[in-house]
Amino acid sequence: MAVGCIDCHCHVTADEFLQDTKEILERSRKEGIRALVSVTEHCREFERLIQLSESYPDFLMPCFGVHPIQNNGDGPRSVTMKDLEPALIWFEKCQKDLVAIGEIGLDFTPWLTPTAREKEEQIKVLKLQLDFAKRLDLPVNVHSRSTGRQTIAFLKEQGVEKALLHNFAGRPSAALEGVKAGYFFSFPPAVTKNNQREKLIRQIPLENICLETDSPALGPNREERNVPWNIHIPCEYIAQVKGLSPEAVCEATAHNALRLFHKMKYKLNK
């Protein structure tokens, strides 16, 4: 059951979709998905995402962001200010088209970000992107691997009022601090493989939950490409955990998405 659901975090411009992007978008629409919020990880995706969103203006909602982990073909590494600098020009140029800034955040996975200097650089990159989002009154679409509590604390410290913590894997106590701040949390299809998330989802109010696929990653089967119409999987799982119908979860999470991504309402009504 995906009719009317909003995928609040996917990667339409990922390399895995390059060969059949149009087919992916058109099938997603035929499956009844109401909208896709598509994030980026680096500025090489920005121009393509804007072009696609112009072709699907009432369906594909663009977000620009520089991810805390970068990979330029030489293996993954922690982000630097040099990665962000060219992106800031695009932020200014395309600000009227964006529904959020993302995917941004912190990732202190030990083998990816082993030094204090790298962590400090990540925090600087995040802060500049948060400053831009606040200036434009845009929400942020946030990554928080190995930094759930710290990321939420930093968002609050920076005065961020509108945030989606995607694929959140922190403790329920950390999530509830985010709930107090008015933040939202979303979970991809892979959530069904992780028993620890059940407790987390049970404690987060439905009013603070959105749906995501994170496609092409984090699908029901690790070896297969994830797709946006798998949105029904987290919808049904959350419904099961909460003791609700999938239809109720789909409706509530879509309402939440429209509250969070406030510019989306105007795009959908065009």
What pLDDT score was predicted for residue 194? 79
Q: By the 8 A CB rule, do 84 and 49 touch?
A: no
Count of positions (residues) in the chain: 270
Give pTM, 2 decimals. Answer: 0.96
Residue 163 corresponds to which amino acid? A
Structural domain tally of the chain?
1
Domain span at 214: 6-268
> In this structure, is residue 28 part of a structural domain?
yes
> In this structure, is residue 19 part of a structural domain?
yes
Quote the strand ranges of 14-59, DSSP E.
35-38
> In this structure, is residue 1 part of a structural domain?
no
| DSSP assignment letter at 2 | -
Average pLDDT rounded to a whole number, residues 20-47? 97
> In this structure, is residue 90 part of a structural domain?
yes
**CATH number of domain containing 45:** 3.20.20.140
> In this structure, is residue 12 part of a structural domain?
yes
Q: What is the mean pLDDT of the chain?
A: 96
Encode pLDDT of 120-166 as tens digits.
999 999 999 999 999 999 999 999 999 999 999 999 999 999 999 99
Quickly state the pLDDT bin for 266 (edges 50, 70, 90): confident
> In this structure, is residue 81 part of a structural domain?
yes
Residue 66 has, within 13 A of its CA and on its CB side, a CA count of: 30
> In this structure, is residue 198 part of a structural domain?
yes
> In this structure, is residue 171 part of a structural domain?
yes
